[in-house]
Amino acid sequence: MAVGKSPVRKDAVAKVTGKARYTDDFIMPGMLHAKYVRSPVGHGIVKSLDAKEALALPGVEAVFTYEDVPDIVYATAGHPFSLEVDHQDVADRKLLTKHVRYHGDEVAIVVARDPLTAEEAARKVKVEYEEFPVCVTHEAALAHDAPKIHAGGNVIKSHSFEVGGNLDQALSESDVVVEGEFKTPVVQHCHMENHTAYAYMDDHEHIVVVSSTQIPHICRRIVGEALGISWGRVRVIKPYIGGGFGNKQDVVLEPMAAFLTMKMDGAPVKLELNREECLVSTRTRHSTKSRCRIGATRDGALKGIDLDLVSNTGAYASHGHSIPSAGGAKSVNLYPRNVVKYSALTHYANIPSAGAMRAYGSPQVIFAIESAMEDAARAIGMDSVDFRIRNVAREQDVNPLSQKKISSAGICECLEKGRKMIGWDEKRKQYADQTGDVRRGLGVACFSYGSGTYPVCVEIAGCRLILNQDGSVHMQLGATEIGQGSDTAFAQMAAETLGVDYDKIHVVSTQDTDVSPFDTGAYASRQSYVVAPAIRKAALELKRKILGHVREMTGKAAEGMTIAGGKIVNQNRPERVVLDLAEVAIDAYYHKQRGGQLTADVSHKTRTNAPSYGCTFVDLEVDVPMCKVKINQIINVHDAGVIIHPLLAEGQVHGGMGMAVGMALFEELLIDPKSGWVHNSNLLDYKIPTFVDIPNLECAFVETVEPTSAYGHKSLGEPPIISPAPAIRNAILDATGVAVNEAPMTPKVLFRHFSQAGII
């Protein structure tokens, strides 16, 4: 059994020894460097542009402006292409723009022989702007007299659904109806490796883009679309990547890199953002404002959830309305036996563009729902955990939105387990009726999430397996290792099904769209769920071919044989070794009459989705006068189905919890409401929590077996980030009686709320 163990990560040695090569580790002779000329105004139009001085600088090769780029409006969101026109991403940008829509927008680009010269030259490009009023907030952007950021107006899209019955009726049947307004901030991914890409041409036809991307195959398409060239001419290579979290599920630099190499006759041109650019001019998490109502009866029955959410996508749509759309839909799996009404609207504003970020709308939606759930529990006087256990999904429930049966749901057990781990019942009593400056509180919050994007998007994955002469197997995937450990989990799956040792699976970690099987990449916590069936199918096919060749070699029927421990063995008596796998391989390759190279090349579409679940328990203390929160204990308990690699799963949960603590207590991109200027566009002022700030992170799993999944597993990539923020909010409420309905819950914010509540 290879699945369920924790072997050494496939990339562990490469990474800890510094041998792993990232995009910036590759150099090419004659490489040129490009730097954007960025707008210093938040909204406006270029009146004049003068590049003479820049061009005169020695080492400057070219300057291109919005006048030089293709007249093609394209979309950057990293989604698979959709056959449904309505479902295609919003195309709202060109490679460079005359109409600048945020402080940092791109009007021109300089190409020089070295990066410092490019930077200096970019400063020497003189641009005059006509300034327009700047809309930063929801209110400003949606005001009836707001300046139009894009021709179609500032609303991108809105939608709503009402499922499981009629909301008004449900609320009228409720004993209590609670209501709250919630706000979530603009935060940044802060992956270690900034956005970087370079492109070159091998001839006059083919463009190669090497990029730190989560989505090489999607990137290929978008480069083709942005430049108006056949996709087959574009090749995208993804080396090791230093984090993405969704920010590299957007095609930010690659079309420009490709454009520049075409302009520079195929010379390699590199585009590397610095941290400041990366914080402002890539993608952020959508900030939201929402109103949530929850109705319940005194006996603890949740009757209805009503959530109305407004989402700010910033200057360009990017993932746009897909974020609240997905966030809303995925939450329905959590409480499926009641009415859910959900309305959402997404608008433009003159702030950095928001895109995909870990959990894709769910943290925003769940912050509102799980805060309101807490308020409802308190209103009916029921224990928060009990109230949730009463109402969360159970196996065989039917999701009222998708109409699909929920086949595995361990959320009840997660709540029970977490409650026990944190000592909920004893602490609850202990923390009752606190006074004094420092008060302790307990909080809980749940979440549900999906495994992939089906049925909203196509779910396609590919796997190619090659049996080597030494009995080892090379595995090619289109799915991308982005630090989450997917190569390792995939190798375990292949080893499991093939019957060979994990060490014998060599994963081709670099994706190259010319040769890697098609897969849309790392996002939506899709990979382990949707790639697994492709791996399983490929492994079964290769196994069948291997046993078929054994039959040719031995004349014995293949039916009685299987592969175990890298050996062909008698199915019923595995100790009876027929042949070593290497012997079979050597014969298949080199026998003059029979055999051939044994490979399996599989493409698979997943037509199911599986909800994953979990919850966060928090024990914290609030120093009320200091408006400071200290987390004493925080536990995430997950139902992600079967755990493929327990150690990596734990690491994944820790990472998500750390990021969640950042979003809950520390992080926000502070944008000047008048100018659109980002005040803290650097890692000194944008305060992500450090090791000192992060509490000890605990996690546990409830292993269900998801029947639609190849190895019984479900998503775990994004989920750990979803529930900590509302659990922290609920614990602060528990400690202080004050509902802080906005993140981040910094001392400044707490001061405002505590003052209003009169506790300081």
Binding to a second copy, residues 8-27 (CB under 8 A): 11, 13-14, 17, 19-21, 25, 27
Binders of a second copy in range 232-251 (CB under 8 A) = 232-233
Segment (H or E) for 563: strand 561-564
Using the rule CB under 8 A, which residue among 598, 615, 649, 735 binds a second copy? 598
Taking the complex as a whole, the smallest distance from the CB of residue 226 to a second copy amounts, in Å, to: 15
Question: Residues 202, 386, 395, 685: which binds a second copy (CB under 8 A)?
Answer: 202
Minimum separation from the CB atom of position 622 to a second copy (A) = 47
In the region spanning residues 424 to 463, those forming contacts with a second copy, defined by CB under 8 A, are 454-455, 457-460, 462
Among 601, 623, 672, 693, binds a second copy (CB under 8 A): 601
Q: Which residue has the tokens 């203390």?
A: 621
Query: How far from the centroid of its chain's Cα atoms is residue 601's Cα?
Result: 28
CB atoms within 10 A of CB 183: 16
Window contacting a second copy (CB under 8 A); options: 172-180, 367-375, 602-610, 680-688: 602-610
Stretch that binds a second copy, among 35-43, 281-289, 431-439, 515-523 (CB under 8 A): 515-523
Nearer to a second copy, 517 or 662 (CB): 517
The residue among 145 and 265 lying less far from a second copy, judged by its C-beta, is 265
Nearer to a second copy, 253 or 473 (CB): 473
Buried b (16+ CB within 10 A) or exposed e, 528-543: bbbbbbbbbbbbebbb
Region from 45-53, 76-84, 390-398, 706-714 binding a second copy, contact rule CB under 8 A: 76-84
CB-based contact 447:362 (threshold 8 Å)? yes
**Closer to a second copy at the Cβ: 314 or 517?**
517
3-state secondary structure 641-673: ECCCCHHHHHHHHHHHHHHHHHHHHCCCCCECC
Piece in contact with a second copy (CB under 8 A), picked from 191-199, 486-494, 501-509, 558-566 = 501-509
Element (H, E) at 475: strand 473-477
Lookup: tokens for 416:
């029970």
Nearer to a second copy, 268 or 418 (CB): 268
In the complex with a second copy, which residue's Cβ is closer, 64 or 454? Answer: 454
Integer Cα distance of 624 and 711 in angstroms: 48
Q: Beta-carbon neighbour count of residue 252 at 10 Å?
A: 26
Give the count of residues interacting with a second copy (CB under 8 A): 71
Q: 120 phi and psi, to 5 degrees? A: -65, -45
Residue 591: both structure tokens together: 């026998």
Question: Is 587 a residue that touches a second copy (CB under 8 A)?
Answer: yes
Q: Determine the distance from the C-alpha atom of residue 351 to the mean position of all C-alpha atoms in its chain, rounded to a whole number.
A: 21
661 contact partners, CB below 8 Å, separation of at least 6: 631, 634, 689, 693, 694, 695, 724, 728
- Return the residue of 150, 474, 556, 752 that touches a second copy, per CB under 8 A: 474
Contact 127, 107 (CB under 8 A): yes
CB of 1 to a second copy, least distance (A): 22
Binding residue for a second copy, selected from 403, 572, 593, 690, defined by CB under 8 A: 593
Residues 6 or more apart from 17 whose CB is under 8 A from it? none
Cα separation, 194 vs 358, in Å, equals: 17
Q: What is the DSSP letter of 74?
A: B
Binding a second copy (rule: CB under 8 A), the pick from 42, 78, 216, 224 is 224
Residues 405, 591, 630, 674: which binds a second copy (CB under 8 A)? 591
Residue closer to a second copy by CB (options 231, 751) is 231
